[in-house]
């Protein structure tokens, strides 16, 4: 794994921050528009009138775009990093030397992936064939020198990525994610919870923001009526936490330097 994907993730996070900043600037200008002569002033006044009339619907659209974008970053980069990690470790050791947990998970999840391909359940895996997945599985079990892991098999259940589900994905990689995350100082700082007490803290509380992004994305995607919009300062807080959380996950997966 390299740091290019992490840099791309941070770049996309910053784009969402700047989008919120743009909204703030536009709202600030609109608040101070007064009716004066001139085409520019008239145009600005019409903008203020339109915004005032449709302010609630405008805020809903902006909110939906931000929430869906945040969740999209979480899901996409978790998948990228998990697959990169599996590709990296398969290039470093023969299959029979991989942790037993990975080998057991690989077999179980590969058979599930084949079943999904046969049933044509997921369009996102159209680039895979069941024959290819089966061939990879065979080469692994036969400990072939140029084996390839079915990395996609580990992310087939990546929808609705609440923290507990992410931890389960990592469990299949033989990584105890919760134990690793509590060692990350940057993430612990932003949670505001003393690391000495963190092991006794419920994960639903510790990673509430991640879980709330998932819940809000689901409600948005399924067309539910949304009344509890997050204001911009709160959204920035969510973005900051998501960035630290995902960077901590990336650092868990980065091979340690000996």
**pLDDT, mean over the chain:** 85
pLDDT of residue 56: 63
pLDDT of residue 54: 57
Cβ burial, residue 248 (10 Å; 0-12/13-18/19+): buried
Q: What is the phi/psi pair of residue 142, to 5°?
A: -90, 5
User: How many C-beta atoms lie closer than 10 Å to residue 253's C-beta?
Assistant: 20
Per residue in 73-92, pLDDT tens?
A: 999 999 999 999 999 999 99
Report d(CA 101, CA 6) in Å as an integer. 27
- Of residues 85 and 254, the one with the higher pLDDT is 85
Cβ burial, residue 69 (10 Å; 0-12/13-18/19+): middle
Report d(CA 239, CA 50) in Å as an integer. 29
Sign of the dihedral through C-alpha 225, 230, 236, 238:
negative
What pTM, to 2 d.p., does this model score?
0.84
Q: Write down the domain spans for the chain.
A: 10-53, 56-107+149-253
Per residue in 203-218, pLDDT tens?
A: 667 899 999 999 999 9
Region 19-38 average pLDDT: 76
Region 146-175 average pLDDT: 90
Residue 158 has pLDDT above 80, yes or no: no
Comparing 49-63, 123-137, 218-232, 233-247, which segment has the lowest mean pLDDT?
Answer: 49-63
pLDDT of residue 197: 55
pLDDT of residue 258: 36
90 closest CA partner among 142, 154, 147: 147
pLDDT of residue 251: 94
Region 229-251 average pLDDT: 94
């Amino acid at each position: 794994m390299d740091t290019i994907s992490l840099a791309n993730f941070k770049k996309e996070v910053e784009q969402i921050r700047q989008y919120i900043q743009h909204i703030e600037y536009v709202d600030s200008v609109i608040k101070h528009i007064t009716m004066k002569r001139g085409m520019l002033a008239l145009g600005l006044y019409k903008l203020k009138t339109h915004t005032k009339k449709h302010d609630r619907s405008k805020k809903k659209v902006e909110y939906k775009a931000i929430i869906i974008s945040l969740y999209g970053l979480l899901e996409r980069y978790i998948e990228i990093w998990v697959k990169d990690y599996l590709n990296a470790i398969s290039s470093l050791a023969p299959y029979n030397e991989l942790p037993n947990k990975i080998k057991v998970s690989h077999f179980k999840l590969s058979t599930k992936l084949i079943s999904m391909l046969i049933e044509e359940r997921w369009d996102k895996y159209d680039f895979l064939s069941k024959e290819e997945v089966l061939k990879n599985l065979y080469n692994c079990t036969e400990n072939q020198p140029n084996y390839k892991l079915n990395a996609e098999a580990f992310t087939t259940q990546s929808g609705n990525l609440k923290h507990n589900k992410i931890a389960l994905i990592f469990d299949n990689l033989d990584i105890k994610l919760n134990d690793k995350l509590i060692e990350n100082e940057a993430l612990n700082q932003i949670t505001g919870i003393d690391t000495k007490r963190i092991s006794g803290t419920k994960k639903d509380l510790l990673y509430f923001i991640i879980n709330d992004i998932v819940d809000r994305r689901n409600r948005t995607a399924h067309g539910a009526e949304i009344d509890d919009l997050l204001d911009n300062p709160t959204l920035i807080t969510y973005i900051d936490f998501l960035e630290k959380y995902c960077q901590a996950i990336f650092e868990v997966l980065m091979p340690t330097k000996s």
